[in-house]
């Protein structure tokens, strides 16, 4: 079972990831594409660590051996959060993996629309994750 402390650490990591995303957007708007890629690589790695260390075990404990009750609002929010987060992780791995710290970034521009979709999913996942954390912590 995931403890409150582990969940709080995971939330802290995700807030750092959110800050990295905002910083990466700032770098991109200032045409610092290589730095943007390095920051995004860091964000993806932190995101994966948090998913594997806390989120997967937490989700497994939440769903247990039973069936998810989709008449429960929080179960639906959790399912959307998990789906968006899983897709974000896969897309992020693919994007930074296809770049793999190259100095030539021309191939990256072809993936811009894909990057935009990934960013939207990532933001959705983080916002829903924060909301779920507040619900679990009893703040909402």
* Residue 54 domain boundaries: 4-136
* pLDDT for the residue numbered 10: 82
Predicted confidence at residue 69, as pLDDT, reads 77
pLDDT tens string 28-85:
899 998 888 889 899 999 989 988 888 888 777 777 777 777 788 888 888 899 999 9
| Residue for token pair 């990532």 | 122
pTM attached to this predicted model: 0.79
Neighbour-count burial for 52-87, b at 16+ CB within 10 Å, e otherwise: eebbeebbeeeeeeeeeeeeeeeeeebeebbebbbb
Q: Tell me the pLDDT band of 108, cut-offs 50, 70 and 90.
A: low
Report how many domains make up the chain. 1
Long-range contacts: 85-91, Cβ < 8 Å, 24+?
85/51, 85/55, 85/125, 85/129, 87/121, 88/47, 88/118, 88/121, 88/122, 88/125, 89/44, 89/47, 89/48, 89/51, 91/117, 91/118, 91/121
Radius of gyration of the chain (CA): 16
């Amino acid at each position: 079972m995931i403890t409150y402390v582990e969940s709080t650490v995971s939330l802290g990591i995700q807030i750092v990831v959110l800050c990295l995303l905002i910083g990466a957007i700032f770098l991109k708007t200032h045409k610092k594409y290589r730095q943007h890629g390095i920051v995004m690589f860091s964000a993806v790695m932190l995101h994966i660590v948090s998913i594997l260390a806390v989120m997967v075990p937490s989700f497994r404990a939440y769903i247990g051996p039973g069936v998810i009750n989709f008449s429960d609002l929080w179960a639906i929010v959790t399912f959307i959060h998990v789906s968006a987060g899983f897709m974000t992780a896969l897309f992020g791995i693919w994007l930074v993996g296809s770049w793999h710290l190259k100095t030539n970034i021309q191939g990256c521009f072809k993936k811009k629309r894909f990057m935009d979709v990934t960013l939207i999913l990532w933001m959705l996942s983080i916002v829903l994750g924060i909301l779920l954390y507040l619900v679990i912590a009893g703040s909402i």
